[in-house]
Amino acid sequence: MRAATARTFRRLARLLAGMPDMLVALACVALLWVGTVAYLDHQTRDAIAAAQDQTERFAIAFEESVARRVDLIDSALLLLRDAYLTGRDDIDMAQVTRGVTTGGPVFQFGYIDADGVLVATNLRHTDVRMDLSDRPHFRAHAENPGRDKLFVSLPVIGRASGKISMQFSRRVADPDGSFRGVVVASITPPGSLTSLHSEMGDGKGMLMLLGTDGALRARSPAIGREAVAQALAAAVGTTARGSFMRGAGQDLVLLGSYRQVSQRPLTVAVALTGEEVLGDLRSGRRQVIGAAAAVSLAALLAGGALTLRRHRLARSRRDLAASREALADAVESVSQGVLMTDSEGRVTVANRRAPELLGLLPEALQGRPTLRALSRMQFVAGEFGTAFPDLDAFETFSRSEWQDLGRNHVYERKRPDGTVLEVRTHALPSGGAVRTYTDITERHLMEEQARHFALHDSLTGLSNRVLMGERLVLAVQRGGCAVLFLDLDHFKLVNDRHGHDAGDRLLVEVAVRLRAVLRAGDTLARLGGDEFAILLSQANPAMASAVARHTIELLQEPFELDGRRFVIGASIGIALHPRDGTTPAALLCAADTAMYAAKRSGRNTFALYDEYMERDAEEQRSLERDLREAVATGQFHLVYQPVCSTHSGEVASFEALIRWCHPVRGHVPPSLFIPVAEQAGLILPIGAWVLETACSEAAAWPRPVRVAVNMSPPQFLQHDLCDQVRRALDRAGLPPDRLDIEVTEGLMLGDEEVVLTNMTRLRAMGVRISLDDFGTGHSSLSYLRRFPFDRIKIDRSFVQNLGVGTEARAIVHSVLSLGRNLKLDIIAEGVETELQLHELRMLRCELVQGYLLGKPMTMDDAVALLRGAAQGMEGRAAPQPTLAG
């Protein structure tokens, strides 16, 4: 353009050479002003074009930055939403969102339930029972059932944080679409724009973030320039991207560019005012005009005007170069790889990060290679791994990539070293494109961890109920599977005596043993608490029974934890497809029913599902309801069975036995309701009532004979048992040496340390301890060695066979000899015939108990028996015994 202007000046000079001086002067002045106006107009257009290009480039960078930040926030929201949909209550929100809140504008994540109450937040100082039902980010999801998109609110003062914040939220809904609540992230609106605004330099320009409703979400600067902000908001159009200009030439008011953030309800906008674009030129305009006026008066000033023009032009070029350098610095500073191509697909701009993420040497980007050539280099270097079997398949992919440059799109690719890249393409109006490569490996790992968390038990690492359900659906489709529902026996004692930490460690060890029974294709899951399930693929009743039997054998072996010995067991229910159910829910229900049947049959065993179990289960539930009412209304009473001398038949003591007379059921035997009481957690109040009542009634007897009270393992394993016994004795006024406490060998399966402590303290009080049903367990002799018993009671199964064969007599003789050597009293239970009593006399057994000597009797009958003996009755008037002297 300068050469054309010079040629024009030379022609005009030759033309005016022969003209009169005044005409030449006027012509020169006119020519001077024409040139001045043309120069100023050209300079203005250049400045406006450079500024418009600058805003377009910053709009692209602004959109990319916002898209990345919003994607990161949305990913965290989706992770939180999925975690809450699994039904987990122990979600560590601070742990899940740490990667988003650290060093970023996001300062808070929260979960609002369906009633609008904030129930969880990563801010530990915040009240998590705050009502947020009136907030727009809650109402937008609660009032729009079909809405499943990200919602971005207008800036408000956060009720939980007290800060001006903008809310990003997602709807949480059950699979059937019912509303569960909202997960929300709060950011400081200006904080996300400040760093980008500083890259524009000198505090010029304005950045704005708007919603798709056109309302302002955030801007930078956040304070002042309200008129500019209003004009910018009004200028943003409804299309996905565009540019705008208010005014023209020297009357320019505002120009800028805007772009809708891809797939998000946000639009970014960048603007410069007319003063920011033309401020320097307007100042120079006055100087040029002044110079032109002076040149009009004197020819010498014309040279100065030309010099000024060259100076201003050089300055504009320097400013443009500085703007380009600032843009290049911004591109180099981002953590992503950035490539810009022209309309022919050649790379025109590339930062240093791009070849690193593409697996190429920096030299590969020299010489403006095409994008297809770079992809071919990657293929040769093995960057695509085994994704393409041959070169032809790769070339097909390469052609599709070239076609995709003309549109905005996003896809992900995994490199051979495990790095996951997000490849995002932004088409430019010029026909070229900007392509960014973002390392999202950490985000992928977070998503995988979240899925593992959602499908596995956090304590044992086993499959959880959700994953078991998915596997069971597939197994039912294939057919011929079996479900084993497993519940640990005596596990509650471990939790109660040693705390949940010990219980958790025991569950981990249980999981290790259970894995040993699995075959390839089987699934082991922890359903919650001490419940486990095993899914056997392609199983039959014999195979399922064998697995259950092996499982019970593994779990009944003692566990050693920190020098402590724990003995538990397992009750297992088995259901088979399609015999016991054709759906996953039906199979699980059948296995659960069979498991409870196994518990009722004695625990530490297994049971195959049968239809009769449903009736038994309902009867058990009905019995439990009646039993709770019996505890509340006092439907129990005690009877007393005497323990007598084998030679005189005189009463040595009474055993207190509980009886239940139900208004409808009538007399319910203890063998029926005691197991239900233990399972329902009612055994402690029932046992406490028996202790209090037996002590109170025994204190009223006319003679000071002893009373024996049976205690269940849960009752005896209480840490304050001795205090309970002392209070019962004190309230009744009964001396401790008149109380016997009878326990069974099942007690020894609990905490041995607590058992030994309670036994020692009770015996120090004067209370005696008896081991009931001796000989029926597998460790009876070892129990006598470890625990300080005062007496043992020979189980009735041995006594009933006395006089029939020699085996029972030998066993009873051995127990009696053992008792005498250990200085223990021996009581033989279940004596019902004169022959049995005769044999026990011959074996020198001093104390016996059974129907032959006295059936369980009421309190009044016991008192009458004792009172009659006190009046001098001698001998044994069958069937009732007399009092020992």
pLDDT digits over 703-762, tens only? Answer: 999 999 999 888 888 889 999 999 999 999 999 999 999 988 767 656 678 888 899 999
User: What is the pLDDT, as a whole number, of residue 599?
Assistant: 85
Q: Is the pLDDT of residue 813 over 70?
A: yes
CB under 8 A, 24+ apart: contacts of 816-824:
816/843, 816/844, 816/845, 818/781, 818/784, 819/791, 819/792, 822/784, 824/784, 824/789, 824/790, 824/791, 824/792
Predicted confidence band of residue 267 (pLDDT cuts 50, 70, 90): confident
Are the beta carbons of 655 and 742 closer than 8 angstroms? yes
User: What is the pLDDT, as a whole number, of residue 749?
Assistant: 59
User: What is the pLDDT, as a whole number, of residue 242?
Assistant: 87
The CATH number given to 623-869 is 3.20.20.450
User: What is the pLDDT, as a whole number, of residue 779?
Assistant: 47
Q: Is the pLDDT of residue 19 over 60?
A: no
Token pair 């009755």 is found at: 873
Q: Is the pLDDT of residue 169 over 70?
A: yes
The size of the chain, in residues, is: 885
Q: What are the start and end residues of each CATH 3.30.70.270 domain in the chain?
A: 458-610
Predicted confidence band of residue 402 (pLDDT cuts 50, 70, 90): low
Q: Which CATH architecture has domain 337-446?
A: 2-Layer Sandwich (3.30)
3-state helix, strand, coil in the chain (%, to 5): 50, 20, 30
Neighbours of 8 (CB within 10 A): 13
Are the beta carbons of 105 and 118 closer than 8 angstroms? no
Task: Measure the CA–CA gap between 315 and 721, rounded to whole angstroms.
Answer: 95
User: What is the pLDDT, as a whole number, of residue 875?
Assistant: 41
Q: Is the pLDDT of residue 672 over 70?
A: yes
Sign of CA dihedral 312, 317, 321, 327: positive
As a whole number, mean pLDDT of residues 487-515 equals 86
Beta strands in 381-530, from DSSP E residues, in sequence order:
409-414, 420-427, 433-439, 482-489, 523-528
Q: Is the pLDDT of residue 883 over 50?
A: no
Q: What is the pTM of this model?
A: 0.46
As a whole number, mean pLDDT of residues 632-641 equals 93
Q: What is the pLDDT of residues 202-219, one digit of tens each?
A: 567 888 888 877 788 778
Q: Which residue did the predictor score with more confidence, 450 or 630? A: 630
Predicted confidence band of residue 629 (pLDDT cuts 50, 70, 90): very high
Token pair 């250990």 is found at: 822
Q: What are the start and end residues of each CATH 3.30.450.20 domain in the chain?
A: 337-446
User: What is the pLDDT, as a whole number, of residue 199?
Assistant: 60
User: What is the pLDDT, as a whole number, of residue 2?
Assistant: 57
Indicate the SS3 state at residue 223: coil
Share of the chain above pLDDT 70, in %: 83
Task: Measure the CA–CA gap between 183 and 167, rounded to whole angstroms.
Answer: 10
User: What is the pLDDT, as a whole number, of residue 717?
Assistant: 84
* Structure tokens that stand for 756 in this block: 């030994």
Predicted confidence band of residue 20 (pLDDT cuts 50, 70, 90): low
DSSP 370: B
Q: What is the pLDDT of residues 123-160, one digit of tens each?
A: 765 667 788 888 888 998 888 877 778 888 888 887 77
Neighbours of 614 (CB within 10 A): 14
Q: Is 2 left (phi over 0), alpha (psi -120 to 50) or beta?
A: alpha
Q: Is 699 left (phi over 0), alpha (psi -120 to 50) or beta?
A: alpha
Task: Measure the CA–CA gap between 447 and 431, rounded to whole angstroms.
Answer: 36
Q: Is the pLDDT of residue 523 over 90?
A: yes
Task: Measure the CA–CA gap between 77 and 110, rounded to whole angstroms.
Answer: 9
Range with the poorest average pLDDT among 102-111, 421-430, 725-734: 102-111
β-pair partners for 169: 151, 184
Range with the poorest average pLDDT among 228-232, 457-461, 602-606: 228-232
| Amino acid sitting at position 505 | R
Q: Is the pLDDT of residue 832 over 70?
A: yes
DSSP 350: E
Predicted confidence band of residue 786 (pLDDT cuts 50, 70, 90): confident
User: What is the pLDDT, as a whole number, of residue 884?
Assistant: 37
User: What is the pLDDT, as a whole number, of residue 862?
Assistant: 93
User: What is the pLDDT, as a whole number, of residue 335?
Assistant: 73
Token pair 């002590």 is found at: 695
Task: Measure the CA–CA gap between 850 and 831, rounded to whole angstroms.
Answer: 4
Q: Which residue did the predictor score with more confidence, 559 or 417? A: 559
Q: Rg for the chain (alpha carbons), in Å? A: 46
DSSP 146: T
Both ends of the chain: CA-CA distance in Å? Answer: 138
Predicted confidence band of residue 300 (pLDDT cuts 50, 70, 90): very low
Task: Measure the CA–CA gap between 90 and 84, rounded to whole angstroms.
Answer: 10
Q: Which residue did the predictor score with more confidence, 642 or 163? A: 642
User: What is the pLDDT, as a whole number, of residue 194?
Assistant: 59
Range with the poorest average pLDDT among 100-114, 445-459, 675-689: 100-114
Q: Which CATH architecture has domain 458-610?
A: 2-Layer Sandwich (3.30)
Q: Is the pLDDT of residue 31 over 80?
A: no
Indicate the SS3 state at residue 324: helix
Q: Which residue did the predictor score with more confidence, 553 or 362? A: 553
User: What is the pLDDT, as a whole number, of residue 274?
Assistant: 80
Q: What are the start and end residues of each CATH 3.20.20.450 domain in the chain?
A: 623-869
Query: Counting beta carbons within 10 angstroms of the beta carbon of residue 58, is it exposed (0 to 12), middle (13 to 18) or buried (19 or more)?
Result: buried
Q: What is the pLDDT of residues 57-93, one digit of tens each?
A: 888 888 888 888 888 888 888 888 888 887 665 666 7
Q: What angle separates helix 465-478 from helix 441-455, to the nearest 10 degrees? A: 80
* Structure tokens that stand for 325 in this block: 């350098």
User: What is the pLDDT, as a whole number, of residue 87?
Assistant: 66
As a whole number, mean pLDDT of residues 582-607 equals 88
Task: Measure the CA–CA gap between 505 and 460, rounded to whole angstroms.
Answer: 9
User: What is the pLDDT, as a whole number, of residue 637?
Assistant: 95
As a whole number, mean pLDDT of residues 4-23 equals 58
Neighbours of 330 (CB within 10 A): 17
Q: Is the pLDDT of residue 324 over 70?
A: no
Q: What is the pLDDT of residues 789-808, one digit of tens each?
A: 899 898 888 888 887 777 88
Indicate the SS3 state at residue 245: strand
Q: Is the pLDDT of residue 312 over 70?
A: no
User: What is the pLDDT, as a whole number, of residue 694?
Assistant: 95
- Please state the separation of Cα 178 from the chain's center in Å: 21
Q: Which residue did the predictor score with more confidence, 394 or 778? A: 394
Share of the chain above pLDDT 90, in %: 24
Predicted confidence band of residue 105 (pLDDT cuts 50, 70, 90): low
Task: Measure the CA–CA gap between 797 and 502, rounded to whole angstroms.
Answer: 38
| Amino acid sitting at position 605 | T
- Report the chain's mean pLDDT, rounded to a whole number: 81
Q: Which residue did the predictor score with more confidence, 394 or 674? A: 674
